[in-house]
A and B are shown apart, each in its own frame.
Chain A
Amino acid sequence: MRSNDRWTLVLLAPVFLLLTAIIFLPEIWAGWISFTNYRLGDPSRFIGFANFEYFLTDPRFWNALRVNVIFVIAVVTIQMVVGLAIALFLAQMKSPLRFLWIAMVLAPMAVSPAVSSVIWRYLFDANIGPLNYFLEQMGFERMQWLTGVTTAMISVIIVEVWLAIPHVVLFVYPARITFPQDLYEAAEVDGATAWQKFRYITFPLLRPAFLLALVFRVIITIRAFGVVWLLTKGGPGRSTELLAIYMFKEGFENWRFGSAAAIAWAMLIITILISSYMIYRMYQNAFVKQRKDA
């Protein structure tokens, strides 16, 4: 081992220790718990796969999985499309006001998600919220934003999208502004319309940044919890009960830590499977192809 490599390890060691302490050990601990009937204070006993059997036969789990799938697909699709559109809009702005716009677009990132959830809860409030006030002013009916089965889902999707758009913009915008202008002039001379320029030039060149943003957003959205918990607590009924909320309730409302840990492990496995598939595809797309060319 060269001395350089040794130094690298020494310098990286604190990070690995930290990761071990706050990620790997708790996960392994949770893994152990998932095979026991652990309750706070009680001595626990190994019960095999009983916890997994329990949640896999629980209709609430299947409901949570369904809600989670809808939530992830809707949130990620909308935020990727809107984030891309905003990034492209910002990139083509020539006015010095562009930096003001960028600051505005990135603002949701600067606010704590808990604080924004409280603000949005106020905006959505059926009686005193501004959203219903404006709806009424424009002659529409008041909406039960957070208390209707469908509207609650729509509301949490809106907030989650709003919060994460800056993340997508931060991936796409810097990539876009590196493209030289003369590529577009060449395309114009070649006869490309605005849509064709996007379809054949911008998007293919943005793809690595876009896919990276997509992978991040999927991984992060699968395990969404805070915003939805603060807005609806998974309600009304179980209409917005995501996997993480279901798990949280199992653990801290029903005190079934064994099955909560089993659900946590199931979520981890789902996330790892989906993200490694996406990263593999991205790697195939972006890197293997390049290497073959070189």
Chain B
Amino acid sequence: MAAIDIEKVVKTYGAFTALRGVSLTIDDGAFVALVGPSGCGKTTLLRSICGLEDIISGEIRIDGKEVTDQPPKDRDIAMVFQSYALYPHMSVSDNMSFSMRLAHAAKELITEKVGYASGILGLGDYLERLPRQLSGGQRQRVAMGRAIVRNPKAFLFDEPLSNLDAKLRVQMRKEIKQLHQRLGVTSVFVTHDQIEAMTLADRVVVMNAGNIEQAGSPLDLYDHPANTFVAGFIGSPAMNMLEGNVVRGDGAPRFVLPDGGTLPLPVGADLADGAGVIFGVRPEHVHAAATDDGARATVNVVEPTGFETFLYSTLGDTEVCIRSTDRLAFRPDDEIGFVPDPEHVHLFDPETGRRLN
């Protein structure tokens, strides 16, 4: 177990810059998820920690020891690949013990470690099988077993669940979390699925275009997104974001949409009169009112899912979503009032995208 320190890491591929001076500290025993859209640099960062990519500049330390220029084998880390990368000609037990056999470990020790890992993962009955005779979930477990056997300082996961079907993905997600709770090994998990990141990790790092946009606990990111990118990326359906201006009249300042509709601003938002602002509110923090209070929207689609109902509507020229546990009785083309809960409004600077409140 070990902490991982990443300092100003830069990586380029020809003219393309994959990492633009990324810095991140991963605490000992933490479970960190790197999440972001394709090409954001999350996998490159993971592979740089692993040593599979040579970085241009910056420094990587594992357990306080600098490893920037060291090959993967000297970093004492284990990686679970997206494709699992199991050796197709080796049995499950040989796959798991390959690193130990290369290191000329004693036979008894190998048997013991493989027994331990396969016990945890429920692979005891499959040790003599070849990878192709296993199901997707079992292969996934073998890949993790290969990591566990090594007793490494950190586990690195590169989108390990993306090749599984939806049901199995949820199950393996739970197993990975239990595994981390049981072993307590520092883990870094790359995924493009924000739900996976939120459910697994104690710390989520949102990346975009080679930069870290925000790092924090899942709920911190959800409740206090630092900018419009994180606000839009975390949460599904995405946060509603409306562009408009602040109007300070006689009473409390209000947010005015280009078409004249107004919305209440949160208490304490200190904004100049006429200032442009992006008004963000999550679908569950908006009520659909029958009255024409505030801003008006036109219903496009109603999606009842049982527990919740999603109401997709058009407000001005923006598509907005309202999420309610009430069974809303609206129909397409109905006019509704878009009533946000002022306590849960996020304000962003339209120029920089940064959070204002």
Stretch at the interface among A28-36, A158-166, A198-206: A198-206
Per-residue interface assignment for chain A, residues 256 to 294, with 1 indicating a CB less than 8 Å from any chain B CB and 0 otherwise: 000000000000000000000000000000000000011
Mask, A167-209, CB within 8 Å of B = 1, is 0000000000000101101111111100010001100110000
| Nearest-Cβ distance from residue B236 to partner chain A, whole angstroms | 30
> Known: A182-B81, A293-B133, A294-B133. Is A189-B73 also a contact (CB below 8 A)?
yes
Shortest Cβ distance from B80 into A: residue: A186
A180–B78 alpha-carbon span in the complex (Å): 19
B183 located at the interface, meaning its Cβ lies under 8 Å from any Cβ of chain A in the complex: no
Complex Cα gap A176–B133 (Å)? 22
* Tally of contact residues, B, Cβ under 8 A: 26
Cα distance A187–B52 in the bound complex, in angstroms: 11
The answer to whether the Cβ of B71 comes within 8 Å of any Cβ in the partner chain is: yes
A182 touches B83 (CB 8 A): yes
Tell me the complex Cα distance, A196–B102, Å: 8
Report the minimum CB–CB distance from A189 to chain B (whole Å).
5
State in angstroms the CA–CA spacing of A183 and B83 once bound together.
9
Partner of B87 from the list A189, A196, A201, A294 (CB cut-off 8 Å) is A201
- Judge if B77 is at the interface, Cβ distance under 8 Å: yes
Within 8 A of B (CB), among A56-109: none
Residues of A near B330 (CB, < 8 A) are none
> Chain A contacts of B52 at CB under 8 A?
185, 188-189
CB pair A189–B77 under 8 Å, yes or no, is yes
Residues of A within 8 A of B103 (CB): 191
What per-residue 1/0 map shows which CB atoms of B65-103 lie under 8 Å from chain A?
A: 000000111000111011101111100000000110011
Contact of B79 among A183, A186, A294 (CB under 8 A): A186
CA distance A186 to B103 in the complex (A): 15
Q: Are B79 and A189 in contact (CB under 8 A)?
A: yes
CA distance A187 to B99 in the complex (A): 8
Verify A191–B102 contact, CB threshold 8 A: yes
> In the assembled complex, which residues on chain A have CB atoms less than 8 Å from the CB atom of B77?
189
Indicate if the CB atoms of A192 and B102 lie closer than 8 Å. Answer: yes
List the A side residues contacting B133 at CB < 8 Å.
Answer: 293-294
- In the bound complex, what is the Cα–Cα distance between A180 and B85 (angstroms)? 8
16 contacts across the A-B interface (CB closer than 8 A): A183-B88, A185-B79, A185-B81, A186-B86, A189-B50, A189-B52, A189-B72, A189-B78, A190-B150, A191-B72, A191-B103, A192-B98, A192-B102, A200-B87, A200-B102, A293-B129
| Given A190-B102, A293-B130, 12 additional A-B pairs, CB 8 A | A185-B72, A185-B81, A186-B81, A186-B85, A189-B79, A190-B98, A190-B99, A201-B87, A204-B89, A205-B89, A293-B133, A294-B133
Query: Which of A's residues lie within 8 Å of B, judged by CB?
Result: 180, 182-183, 185-192, 196, 200-201, 204-205, 293-294
